[in-house]
Amino acid sequence: MSPDLQDLISAACDGRATADELALLTQQLREDPDARNEYLRYVDLHSALSDEVVPMPAAVLVDYRRFESDHGQHRLNGATAGNVRFGWLMVIATCVTSIVGVGGLRMWSLTGQVADPTDKRMTVVTEPVATLLYAEECKWQGITLQEGQRLHPGRIHLISGTAMARFGGGAELVLTGPAWVELLTPASVRVHRGDVVVQASNGAEGFVVATPISEVVDLGTEFAVKVSRSGRTEVHVLDGEVSYRKLEAAGELAKILRAGEGIAIDTHSRPRAIPMNSPRFQDFVSRINPKSRADLLTAYEGFNYSPGILPLENSVVGIGWLGPWRRRLPEERRAPTQEESPDHLEIVHGRMNVTWPVPGGRLGMLKVPSGNVYYVRPLKQAIDLGSDGLTYFSLMVREIDRRIDREQPHEHLRLTFRSSDEYFGDVLSFGHGPWHRPRIQAGNGNLYTSPLEVPAERTTLWIGKVVSRVRGEDEMYFRIYGEDDMLDYAEPATWHVVTRDVNSDARLDRVVLSSSGKFGRIVDELRIGPTWRSVAPISEHSPEQTRE
């Protein structure tokens, strides 16, 4: 490394570099592959000697699609570790530059976007690679992560606590602080320092864990990887098999480790056998014992009234509401133009068979009659699709009448979120339509429908998820659980309905419960909250429930 380049890199890592020095460093990194390699070596050494490479702003995740070859091939898919490293190297340079206030450079954010401060319309959005399943009492460096958040490529530093994530390819990972990892793709992660346990089965085989000196590939198994500050790596196979080899030895044959075996690889890539010593994935789940977080609910309606007829103006129980249930106003009606909804709620008890650990379905619940019925209630806390956020909801439903074989009546049941400012503007609606198929209506009329059919004459639990973003695509998910389905502490890997290409800035502050057709229905336990565990009736005594 030349003295000039070494001085530039040192100044950048220590936060001493001037704007001119950072500009010169950036130019050299872009133009000289040797300079990039030397920069990477220096940064790796710097990170081994301190807790952080550079002071990290709240934006550290990278869109690797920016770093493409001249032939248009994505670097991340190019099979060389150097290409991935270069992507992070450039992000470090950008982050350092942004810290000292050099204008015109872009900032990376947790939403996978890069925004040019001189042009707020310029946005590049990455695809998420994982979902954060659990993160209670976790302390992160420079960022705040929430359960349910979609994670984009880039580095994450967990200072303390235990977190769990599910990658797009299906593998699940437990991360114990202090740890520093880099999310790469839906099927790969790089562990720079710390301990992780990976559970990759049921189609998630092939998940890759890279470390500073090795590459571990899952062959359908559960394994742990531990990386020290120096890069020394341990691999412990808890179940199944893994293969491993040097990080940059693609031509070498991979070696196999089997269940019960462990290996330590020093910084010179020399392996030696060690006793297998790591907790299993389920041990971590049992240890943290995830509990319901109903205390986080932003709105709740349990219809906890005595049996009988309740005037709408008296439906004032629950939390998170600005008023009681009501019928639609004239300006909220298009078809039918006349309001046919009752001016009351009919409350019944004990009309649901409930297998989940939740009090709903036993005491008060709402009986919705046949015909065209619309009940509206205003929310205190709106779902703001124009901001970055997460919203979950759940609702229990049971049909009263029996479906006739080979007859598919025109039946609808929907839970809809609308805006009081523009009632017929962008909408977000979850439910089922003809043929009893789960569906989402999002935006201005876009429909997304599942081919599955909602179970007949059984209690079902509806759960939906809304990922809203300032920039980039909003995401909505919907799943309907039957009485025999298990509910876990974390959201499922598979949803019945998932939206695409939804972009809305609507502020949805009205809940509309609507039913139409020949069937009457029972509904109960409407919950709205910021996490899965705030709305899903999970058992607090059975963390070992079967994972999906």
Distance CA 432, CA 454 (A): 8
Q: Residue 180 phi/psi, 5° resolution? A: -135, 115
Assign residue 472 a region (left: φ > 0; alpha: ψ between -120 and 50; beta: otherwise): left
Position 35 scores a pLDDT of 76
Grade residue 387 by pLDDT with cuts at 50, 70 and 90.
very high
Q: Specify the higher pLDDT residue, 68 or 468.
A: 468
Position 89 scores a pLDDT of 41
**High-pLDDT (> 70) share of the chain, %:** 76
Grade residue 73 by pLDDT with cuts at 50, 70 and 90.
very low
Cβ-contact 232, 266 below 8 angstroms: yes
Position 409 scores a pLDDT of 61
Helix, strand, coil: what percent of the chain each, to 5? 15, 40, 45
b/e per residue 248-260 (b: at least 16 CB within 10 A): eeeeeebeebeee
Secondary structure (3-state) at 491:
coil
Contacts of 121 (CB under 8 A, 6+ apart): none
Position 415 scores a pLDDT of 97
Structure tokens at 514: 């609507």
Asked if residue 328 has pLDDT above 70, the reply is yes
Distance CA 123, CA 28 (A): 26
The C-alpha angle with vertex 339 and arms to 335 and 344, in degrees rounded to 5, equals: 140
Asked if residue 407 has pLDDT above 60, the reply is no
If one counts every other C-beta atom within 10 angstroms of the C-beta of residue 182, the result is 22
Give the tens place of pLDDT for each residue, 10-60. Answer: 777 665 667 677 778 777 776 776 776 666 666 545 444 433 333 333 333
Contacts of 49 (CB under 8 A, 6+ apart): none
Q: Specify the higher pLDDT residue, 84 or 386.
A: 386
Across residues 490-496, what is the average pLDDT? Answer: 93
The runs of H, that is alpha helices, within 15-70 are 19-31, 33-49
Position 288 scores a pLDDT of 83
Grade residue 455 by pLDDT with cuts at 50, 70 and 90.
confident
Helix axis angle, 3-14 to 33-49, nearest 10°: 40
Mean of the per-residue pLDDT values of the chain = 79
Asked if residue 540 has pLDDT above 90, the reply is no
Position 37 scores a pLDDT of 66
Please report, for residues 266, 333, 433, the alpha-carbon distance to residue 477 in angstroms, rounded to integers and kept in the order given.
45, 27, 17
3-state secondary structure string across 61-112? ECCHHHCECCCCCEHHHCCCHHHHHHHHHHHHHHHHHHHCCCCCCCEECCCC
DSSP code string of 140-177: ESS----TT-EE-SEEEEEEESEEEEEETTS-EEEEEE
What's the distance, CA 158 to chain centroid?
Answer: 17
Distance CA 456, CA 393 (A): 22
Structure tokens at 447: 């429909």
Q: Specify the higher pLDDT residue, 3 or 307.
A: 307
Q: Residue 198 phi/psi, 5° resolution? A: -115, 135
Position 190 scores a pLDDT of 95
Asked if residue 167 has pLDDT above 50, the reply is yes
Give the tens place of pLDDT for each residue, 102-117. Answer: 332 222 334 444 444 3
Asked if residue 459 has pLDDT above 60, the reply is yes
Q: Specify the higher pLDDT residue, 379 or 79.
A: 379
Residues found in the chain:
548
Grade residue 505 by pLDDT with cuts at 50, 70 and 90.
very high
Cβ-contact 222, 248 below 8 angstroms: no
**High-pLDDT (> 90) share of the chain, %:** 49
If one counts every other C-beta atom within 10 angstroms of the C-beta of residue 374, the result is 20
Distance CA 401, CA 399 (A): 6
What's the Rg (C-alpha) of the chain? Answer: 27
